[in-house]
Structure 1
C-alpha cells in the first residue's frame, strides 16, 4: 500500500527552481532514503511533505487522499536537522509538552514517555535541562519526541548526527522496529553507508531534479561494472583470455577481473579450472552508494557545496 505519493511537485524561490517536477511514491512500512547534496532540494521536499511549505505545482497524496496539513500533521513525526528544543526547559517537561501538542492526553503521554525513556536508557534525565545535554543526548531526546505519538510517517533528517556508535545502533534498531510495526520512515542523510544498511528504497535528487529512483539493490545492480573478485590458491603461469581482462592483482593471488560483453562469470571460473588452479573465492563487485552518489552529482554546483559542508 502506498502511504505517500508526490506527483510533478514544483517549488520556486524567486527565479530559482528548488524542486523541479519531482515525482515518487513510498510504500507503507518501508524505510525510504531521500538523498542528495546540499542545495539539491531535499529540505524543501521535506517541508512540503510536512505542510510547512505548499508546492507551487503538483499533488501530494497521503494515506489515500490529498494531503491536508491541518488534519494530517498529527500522523507525521518530523525530526529536522536543525534541532528545535527549548534549552531552559527540563527534559521530562519538554517531552510531555511536545507529546500533548501532538494530541496525546497527559496520561497517555506520560506512559509513552516512560516507555521510551526506559527503552533508550534516559530515565535519569527527567529533571536535567536541555542546555546541559550533550549533542548526542539531545539527539536521543529529539528522536523520542518525534516518534512517541506513533505517527504513520516518520521523517528523520540526519538522525545519527552527534551519536556515538553504541547509541547510533540503538536508534537504528528502533528505526527497524518502527518499520516492522507499520510506520513508514523517510531517512535523509549524507552518510551513504547508513543508507545501504538501513533503507529499502532510495531517491537521489540534485539541483531540484530527481536523478535516481529505485531499491538499494536495484540501483547498485544498475551501476555495476561487470567486475568480479577472485581469490586463487596459486598464481597462474599466465593469463590470456577472450572472456575477461585483469583490472588488478596482488601478491596473494587475488585478482579483480572485468568480464567482456558476451561472456559470463562461468567463463572466468572455467578458464582457471581448466588450468587446474583452485578457486578459493569468487564474488561480484558492486559499487557502493557513495560511489554512485559521487558519480551522479560530481562536478555540479550542488555537490561542491555539499563537500564544503562535510569538510
Structure 2
C-alpha cells in the first residue's frame, strides 16, 4: 500500500487497504488512507484537515491510538448514515504528519502544512513545547489551529488563530495542589523540567497555589524522558508531584526505591501526576 500511496494510485490503495483491514480491522491509519483515496476518486471538491501529532517518540503511547481513531472517526462521520453502499462520497480528507513530540520537527511540519493550499485547518501539535515552537509559522498562515492538549498559559497569547480545548496549567496546577492538600498531605516534592513548557508551566502554577494554601514544596529538577541521573534529596515530604506526561510518571514510579527512604518518603500516602489521566494513589 505504501508504494500505491507514493504513486498516488488511489484504486490500488483501496484494494490493498481492504485486504489489510480484513485482518487488522482496528488499524485506523490504513482505514484513514482508504477513506482519503475514496474522497479523491469521487472527484468532488474536498476539504483537508492537517494533524500534527507525535506518532513516534516518548509520547507515542499516549496519543497514537487516540489520534488515529479520532482521525478515522472524523472522516467517517462526514459520510451519510446507513450502509456503506448507500453513503455519499466523503468530502473531508485528513493529512497526518508525525512531529515526534520534537520542537524542531514540529516546526518542519508546520512549514509543510503552511505551504499546502489544500489545508483548511490543523489539529495539534499535542504538547505545549511543540505548539509554542511552531506558533510563529502557524500565525503566518490563514489556517485555524486547534490544540487538543497543550496547556501552557503562554498559548493564550501565541496567536489570534491558535485555540486550545484543554484548561491552562494555571487552572490545572492550582487544582492539583488543592487536591494534594485535601488528601492530607502537608509537603510535596515537585519534579519538573524547566526546559519543557508544559512541565515548567504546570509546576509554577502548582507551587504558587501550594504556597497560598500552606503546602510545603521542595524543587527537584529533572529532564523529561531521562531519569537515570535523577536524585531526590532527603526531603521529609508526604507526596511526590510529577509535572510531566504519563510516560514520565511511569518512569519515576520505577525508581520507587531511591525515593523511598525512612526519613523521607516512607510514610508517603499518595503520588500525584499532572498527566491527562488522574494518577492512582501510591500507598506507602
The answer, yes or no, to whether TM exceeds 0.5 is: no
State the TM-score, normalizing by the size of structure 2: 0.25
Q: Which structure has greater strand proportion?
A: 1
Q: Which structure has greater helix proportion?
A: 2
Structure showing greater Rg: 1
Instruction: State the structure with bigger RCO (CA 8 A, min sep 6), 1 or 2.
Output: 1
